[in-house]
Amino acid sequence: MKLKIALLAGDGIGPEVIDQAVKVSNAVAEKFNHDITWMPALTGAAAIDAVGDPYPPETHEICAASNAVLFGAIGDPKYDNDPSAKVRPEQGLLRMRKALGLFANVRPTFTFPSLIDKSPLKKERIEGTDLVFLRELTGGIYFGKKGREDQGNTAYDHCVYSKDEVRRLAKKGFEMAMSRSKRLCCVDKANVLETSRLWRETVQEMEKEYPEVAVSYEFVDAVAMRLVQWPSDYDVLITENLFGDILTDEASVISGSMGLMPSASVGSKVSLFEPIHGSYPQAAGKNIANPLATVLSAAMMFETGFGLKEEGQAIRDVVNKSLAEGVVTEDLSDGGKTYSTSEVGDWLARNI
């Protein structure tokens, strides 16, 4: 297969972890006879520094013309403590999601048997966890009208959802539930928020189109608690943008390291694959960051982006092998030998 992949390394550790995913993807391409053309493009603080725009038009053109986008990380501390900054790296990510129509963010959470003791949660609580969040990604409070009034002393962010936005996200949730354990949890705050009542009403209407799926409705505050108490009770969860942002960071704790969880953002056109972690600026340039979340994002890219299941599985197998053999970065080390970011990438590519 001929594959054109837009490569957006971004900020902080983004370039280092993306390099490893490229090595592993190239090894897979060689083994299975695919022909990858990588198309690098600027985004985030790196793009602001270079051209003054975190998502420049050339980057959009490259992404829109690709078969998939592989993304590293975005964010730079020099913007975090400056509320007055006019352009922010994160705006690039949000604009890209909107411009590429990436309305559903698929964030799985699972455990690795060899890392079960790395989680701060008790082993017997997290064993067997295998859940997936579908987070709405282009609506809600992230994209509503925002502003200031009263000489800047009052601020607002509107949370707006249309029925169509809820339906298209929920449809993906029902379909995913059908392909898994046929359980779907709709996470909302319908006891307080009107948008949540619209979510609940819409999902309830859709239940009859999927009679085999058992749907539960839970309030987001209760899910925040139960998620770390009994994570294996959940399978597919659907939720709005901000709730999904918060709950998926929380869920990543279950797997033991934020450096492990991949994600896919999908819509009607091209899909984007990225680790769920941020740009981890403290580690940037040190060759110590864990590349596995990005490598596993590449596995999702082969599997769900290109429909190449065996290729995706080959990546997951080699990641499991590296964990079992202790070829890991320092965040996962048991005090024994640790490997650098690039050493882990080299080892994975060699063992594909």
One-letter amino acid at 39 equals M
Q: Which of 19, 23, 55, 142 is catalytic?
A: 142
Q: Measured from the CB of residue 37, what is the shortest distance to Mn ion in angstroms? A: 30
The answer to whether residue 189 is catalytic is yes
Sheet with 2-10, edge to edge strand ranges: 35-40, 2-10, 68-73, 271-275, 262-266, 104-110, 130-136, 236-239, 183-188, 214-219
The answer to whether residue 221 is catalytic is yes
Q: Measured from the CB of residue 348, what is the shortest distance to ligand IPM in angstroms? A: 24
Q: Measured from the CB of residue 93, what is the shortest distance to ligand IPM in angstroms? A: 5
Among Mn ion, ligand IPM, none, the one that 74 touches (CB under a kind-dependent 5 to 8 A) is ligand IPM
Compose the 239-258 pattern: x for residues touching Mn ion by CB under 5 A, - for all others: ------x-------------
Return residues touching ligand IPM (CB under 6 A). 74-75, 90, 93, 245
CA distances from 275 to 147, 263, 329 (A): 31, 6, 16
In the chain, the N- to C-terminal Cα span, in Å, equals: 18
Among ligand IPM, Mn ion, none, the one that 11 touches (CB under a kind-dependent 5 to 8 A) is none
The answer to whether residue 82 is catalytic is no
Counting beta carbons within 10 angstroms of the beta carbon of residue 69, is it exposed (0 to 12), middle (13 to 18) or buried (19 or more)?
buried
Rank residues 74 and 166 by Cβ distance to ligand IPM and give the closer one: 74
Location of structure tokens 């409705």 = 217
Q: Which residue is nearest to ligand IPM (CB)?
A: 90
Rank residues 218 and 245 by Cβ distance to ligand IPM and give the closer one: 245
Nearest CA-CA partner of 10 in 35, 37, 43: 43
Q: Measured from the CB of residue 224, what is the shortest distance to ligand IPM in angstroms? A: 16
Q: Which of 157, 221, 233, 317 is catalytic?
A: 221
How far apart are the C-alpha atoms of 270 and 305, rounded to whole Å?
A: 8
- According to DSSP, residue 233 is labeled G
Q: Which of 79, 161, 245, 280 is catalytic?
A: 245
91: Cα within 13 Å, side-chain hemisphere? 14
Binding residues for Mn ion, per CB under 5 A?
A: 245
Active site residues: 142, 189, 221, 245, 249
